[in-house]
Amino acid sequence: MNSPNHSHGKSLLLLSGLLYLAGCAALFPPNYRPYSDQVGFSDVQVARNTWEVSYVGPADFTEIQAKKMALLRAAELTRIAGARWFRIVSEDTHSRKTRLTSREVTSKPVKDTAFAREDAPKVVHETTTSQDAWIPMVTLVIAVEKAESAETLDAEVLVRDGKASGLLPKG
CA distances from 13 to 8, 17, 30, 164, 165 (A): 9, 6, 27, 18, 20
Q: What is the pLDDT of residues 37-55, one digit of tens each?
A: 889 999 999 999 999 999 9
Domain range enclosing 144? 4-91+136-164
134 or 10, higher pLDDT: 134
- Is 107 contained in some domain? no
- Is 130 contained in some domain? no
- Is 55 contained in some domain? yes
- Is 169 contained in some domain? no
What pTM does this model have? 0.65
Q: What is the pLDDT of residues 128-138, one digit of tens each?
A: 777 677 889 99
Total domains in the chain come to 1
C-alpha 10 chain-centroid distance: 33
